[in-house]
Structure 1
Amino acid sequence: MDNSTSVAGRIAQNSVFERFARAGFVMSGIVHLLIGYLAIRIAFGGASGTADQSGAMTELAGKPGGIIALWIGVVAFLVMALWRLAETALGSASQPDADSKKAEAIDRFKAFCVAVVYFAFAFSALGFARGRGKSSGAQSAGLTARLMHTTTGTVCLVAGGLIIIGVGGYHVYKGFSRSFLQDLKDAGSDFVRWLGTIGYIAKGLAIAAAGLLIILAATQSQPNKATGLDGAFKTLGAQPYGALLLVVAGLGIITYGLYSFVMARSTKM
């Protein structure tokens, strides 16, 4: 084991650091449960709202103790992001013996991508904890509109959409192949395996749909289509049997949320 790996190990295995990092999985689970709930509520014609990260945090902020939970989330998401950033720079402490330099580079890149996601979660949670949260869908549409003013910006949007579709495809692959089991300390029960399989596939399809909407928005000069996960859900709801499809999608996201609680307990760190 080289020096960088041992440093990563010491960081990840610090008891306080590890507990807060694992709390990031718990908060992620709560956010996904709320997103799934909002999607199902929209399917049944419930109150208006956005079925995405910002909608989930708005819902949480309105509950008793929600602001405190959001502040806890800020810390938990931030520590989770720092853990993944440490893996990016130093390598994984739980899998120190990479099969090849290429495999190690891919693992570090994936760790960096996850770090970016959790930094974004922390920033968003901070905004809602301070009462200044903004709709992620509206921000996405606004950014798309600004980038579409130039050819370079449009190309970047299409490239970004393709990357997001790729991330969604990776989630779907991870669900079908059950490679997510490699991230856990043990294989778990059949129930855990099915939670992960359904959850990863559902989340992957939702992410891929959001990426496709970005490409359509850029190529059709309609920035309002690029509203992220909420736009993907509402586009799905506008299809024939849309309400049923939305319920199925919402249940899939809820399943991923439940699997996040498994990750909080059993992920290798």
Structure 2
Amino acid sequence: MVKAKSHVRTAAGLAQSRWFQIVARAGYVTTGLVHAMIGWICLRLGLWRDADQSADQSGALASFAEAPAGAALLLAGAVATAMLAAVHVLASVGDLKNDLPSAVKAAGKAVLYGGLAVTAWSIGSGQSSDSGDTAESATAPLLASGLGRALVILAGAAIIAVGVYHVYKGTTRKFRNDLSPSGDDKISSVIDMSGLVGYVAKGLALVGVGGMVMWAAISVDPDKARGLDAAFTEVLSFPAGGHLLAGMGIGFVLFGVYSVLRAKYQQMPTS
């Protein structure tokens, strides 16, 4: 036990080092570029029905992989995002005793950033990855039992709750609490605008994904448990769906801008 605590303290000290923090902050740039690319794919799909890649995390990363030196950039981004995930893991461990909600929140962020790191590394190293297929394959075995379907419904409800929180965080500008003051009115205005529109757009998309996951359980159809790409495609079936999707695309691009700015102004968690 003492040895384990010593290892945690050593890891925490390493994570607080200047070079580790710089690389970890670059993970926000990676997430920003991914969201901006998802937004661009949505714009193309909404306005011109033209998109070579799926409008989700794996599709965005695959688009970067096709660029010159794209694979190398993805691998570098994977390392940075993995370090960002590690920072949140250590913050979660540090909060376990005194602040359980913060520990759970930090753990959730660690999972998200860790998942992005794994996907980026996989695509950067030449392997294929489809988040929609992953969601479908993970859901299918659970739909064979009543308990499994209940768990899928709860998972969908949790995704919807996260989406609603994103909308709330954007409209109330609670995201300001996560950032250090920029000291520049123009940058602050960009942060406010991109955070507001970006959080709302991402929140609405997550509500759509959560709804599809819940419907997959209710209809006992794992094909419906798809990711962002399927949710965006569904939007096209709405009246003026193309314009709605283009608007969401702009929101994701702005969330990408906000995420890149976080690389400099985000208050990093302590462990």
The TM-score with structure 1 as length reference comes to: 0.90
Corresponding residue for 1:179? 174
User: How big is the shift at 1:47?
Assistant: 3.5
Displaced runs of 4+ in structure 1, greater than 3 A? 6-13
Which of 38, 56, 59 is residue 35 of structure 1 equivalent to?
A: 38
Worse overlay, 62-71 or 139-148: 139-148
The alpha-carbon deviation at position 191 of structure 1 amounts to 2.3
Aligned counterparts of 2:179 and 2:59: Cα–Cα separation in 1: 30
Out of 37, 41, 66, the position equivalent to 1:62 is 66
Q: Deviations over 1:17-76 (max 9, x none)?
A: 101110100000010011111111112111443100010011111111110011001101
Structure 2 residue 251 is the aligned partner of structure 1 residue 252: yes
Query: Where does structure 1 lack aligned partners over 5 or more consecutive residues?
Result: 1-5, 93-100
- Cα distance in 2, alignment partners of residues 91 and 267 from structure 1: 19
- Aligned alpha-carbon RMSD (Å): 2.1
Equivalents in 1 of 2:95, 2:22: separation in Å?
Answer: 20
Shift in Å at residue 234 of structure 1?
Answer: 0.6
Looking at structure 1, the residues matched to 253 and 232 of structure 2 have their Cα atoms a distance apart, in angstroms, of: 14
**Residues 1:192 and 1:8: Cα distance change in structure 2 (over 3 Å):** farther
Report the equivalent of 1:136.
131
- Does the CA contact (< 8 Å) of 1:8 and 1:87 recur in 2? no
1:159-174 map, 5 Å: 159-174=154-169
Identity of aligned residues (%): 35
Shift of 1:10: 4.1
Distance in 1, matches of 2:159 and 2:262, equals 23
Q: Could you tell me which residue of structure 1 aligns to residue 226 of structure 2?
A: 227
CA distance in structure 2 between the partners assigned to 1:69 and 1:237 by the alignment: 32
| Equivalent residue for 2:21, pick from 14, 18, 22 | 18
Q: How far is the alpha carbon of 1:11 from its aligned partner?
A: 4.5
| 2-structure distance, mates of 1:26, 1:77 | 9
Q: 1:203 and 1:8 mapped to 2: Cα distance?
A: 33
Deviation, structure 1 residue 146: 2.2
Residue 86 in 1 paired to residue 85 in 2?
A: no
Between 1:183-192 and 1:207-216, the stretch displaced more is: 183-192
* TM-score after normalising by structure 2: 0.89
Query: Could you tell me how far 1:165 is from its partner in structure 2?
Result: 0.7
Amino acid in structure 1 at the alignment position of 2:245: L
Q: Distance in 1 between matches of 2:198 and 2:112?
A: 18
